[in-house]
Structure 1
Amino acid sequence: MVFYGQLVVGAPGAGKSTYCSGLVQLLKQLKRPVICVNLDPANDVIPFDCDVDIRELVTVEDAMETFNLGPNGALRYCMQTLLKNIGWLKHKITSLAKEASYLVIDMPGQLELYNSDDSITQIIQQFNKWDWRMCAVHLSDSVYIADPGKFVSVILAALSIMVNLEVAQINVLTKVDLLDEDRLPYDFEFFENLPDLKYLTDLLDDHPFLSQYKNLSSKLCEIVDSYSLVGFVPLNVKSKERMLHLLKQADKANGFELIDSKDLRGVIVAS
């Protein structure tokens, strides 16, 4: 059976669970069968009905207590345990599907898991073998665009996830409804399209003690610029139009057939 869906990735606080909740509401109104999966073993507050939960298999708290691990070490242990028991995940999902279904998978947010351990990469590779056609939706809090240094870090984090997951990826700036655009150094469109990152690094502090940091940031941005690797989609989960726009982009990225415009009339995304 072919599954399509989204791997929802992003740092803690970026709005992953809120986005998943809004997306599930939207898919249900579009009459798309949806299976909701939580693969974040540290997520103990899930604002949507969860069909499959990694915490049924392993929890961060149990790993910390049993093996005397810190939070990050426990997260790594949990993902390694999921990889060793990957058949459990496949069985859970396929047993719920009566027809071709859409998967919404809430992923762990800690960037270290994607850089220091290949468990998540191997899990995604299993998805590909099972013909689960997934794209990644990487969420970042739009508040960081007001600080050039922090936004460079957001760009690099998005790029790091792209390299490690090796699937089509859509990068998203969340909570745009909370932005004060008067405080931004450039128009918001600049941060969506990133036409020339030199303008971003020009805003970094020229203090002598920070010159090496500025030079490093400039070189990294030159590489990103050269290959046009990163752009962002704005998102306000309360906006029907923005949610539908992102869903259409995800449909293109994972291969799901495009939504017919007549199916979108009357759709309401609850807050």
Structure 2
Amino acid sequence: MKYCEIIIGPPGSGKSTYVDKKIDLLKDRNPYLINLDPGNINTRHYDYSITEKYTVNQYQKEFNKGPNASTKDILSEFVSDLNSFYYEKLVDNVCYLIIDMPGQVEFLINGDSMSNLISLFIRKGYSVSVICLIDLVFFNHSPLSSFLFTLICVSLLEVPYVCVISKCDNFDKIGFNYDLEKITKLDIFNEKVNDKFTQSIIQFLVENPLFRYEILDYDNENTLKYLQYIIDQSSGYIYDEDYSTDYSKLDVEDLFSKYKIKE
């Protein structure tokens, strides 16, 4: 069986850092790393980067388009020739893919590049999981927007997904108002708000719990290990005959004990 992690999330959520950390964590799986964000200039760790064809700046200058339109077009061109890329780079011996995507959510809403990408890898025998990162600082400023971004992403992608709050090392620094575990379970919307539209969104989220969040703190390596165990459950990797890990033995309550507000 072959496996594919597709990493999504808004700009600044830590997608590239996440990929870097997986290099060492998954070294026994020899993952093949792909960057499909033409605005990402830090590509030294990737086995392939879409910037080999175009960067956003190059495309903007050549075709007189804005950054978002350029990113969308570059990605669309790549996906249109994805079958050739597969046979050129992946067909022989790549069994574990990690793909770093652009941060703009409009690619999921207004285009078919993402769905076509997923469909091809499924046809080629990959078990695909989407990893959706939202950083803790964004949660602190816009909790409802964070939940909505996640909801849009997981609703539009018809594959298993894992939702993650990243950069949890900032928990003490930003003076968070909630225990982190309450956020992961969507358990922070207890107070009634006056705005009817906002209240209706909150009610929908509470009554339709389509997801929950895992946490990621690179200062707490066990969060990365436990997250990988959850991803392996999502993709079915835990059923691989060679699968062996002690990540499942990690104490989840202990993981969250660090992220509680001080009384």
**TM range, smaller chain:** 0.7 to 0.9
Which residue identity lines up with residue 229 of structure 2 in the other structure?
Answer: K
Structure 2 residue corresponding to 1:166, chosen from 142, 158, 162: 158
C-alpha RMSD of matched pairs (Å):
2.3
> Which runs of structure 2 are paired with 1:8-23 in the superposition (5 Å)?
8-23=7-22
Query: Moved runs in structure 1, 4+ residues, more than 6 A?
Result: none
Structure 1 residue 106 corresponds to structure 2 residue 100:
yes
Residues 56-91 of structure 1, C-alpha deviation per residue, up to 9 Å, x if partnerless? 233322321221100011011111101221123312
Q: What is the 5 A alignment of 1:173-184?
A: 173-180=165-172, 183-184=175-176
Q: Superposition pairs for residues 62-81 of structure 1, below 5 Å?
A: 62-81=58-77
| Displacement after TM superposition at 1:10 (Å) | 0.9
Q: Which residue identity is paired with 1:185? A: N
Unaligned runs of 5+ in 2: 249-263
Q: What is aligned with 2:56?
A: 60
Equivalent position amino acid for 1:24 in 2: I
- 1:132 aligned to 2:126? yes
1:133 is paired with a residue of what secondary structure?
strand
User: What's the CA shift string for 1:34-58, capped at 9, x where partnerless?
Assistant: 1111111111113x52112112233
When the two structures are aligned, how many residues end up with a matched partner?
A: 246
Aligned to 2:80: 84
2:29 is paired with a residue whose SS is coil
Following the alignment from structure 2 to structure 1, what is the Cα–Cα distance between the partners of residues 156 and 107?
Answer: 10
Tell me if structure 2 keeps the 8 A contact 1:140–1:154.
yes
TM-score (norm 1): 0.83
* CA distance in 1: counterparts of 2:219 and 2:4, whole angstroms: 21
Distance of aligned partners of 1:93 and 1:134 in 2 relative to their CA distance in 1, 3 Å threshold = farther
Asked which structure has the greater RCO (Cα within 8 Å, sep 6+), the reply is: 1
TM-score by length of 2: 0.85
Q: Which amino acid aligns with 1:145?
A: F
The AA in structure 1 aligned to 2:245 is S
Deviation at 1:182, TM superposition (A): 8.3
Change (3 A) 1:110 1:35: same
Look up the match of 2:39.
42
Residue 153 (structure 1) shift: 0.5
CA drift of 1:181 comes to 7.7
Match of 2:206 in 1: 225
Residue 3 of structure 2: aligned partner: 4
When residues 257 and 225 of structure 1 are mapped into structure 2, their CA distance, relative to the original with a 3 A threshold, is same
Out of 236-245 and 5-14, give the one that drifted further.
236-245
- The answer for unaligned runs of 5 or more in structure 1 is 265-271
Identity %: 26
The one-letter amino acid paired with 1:45 is N
Match of 1:117 in 2: 111
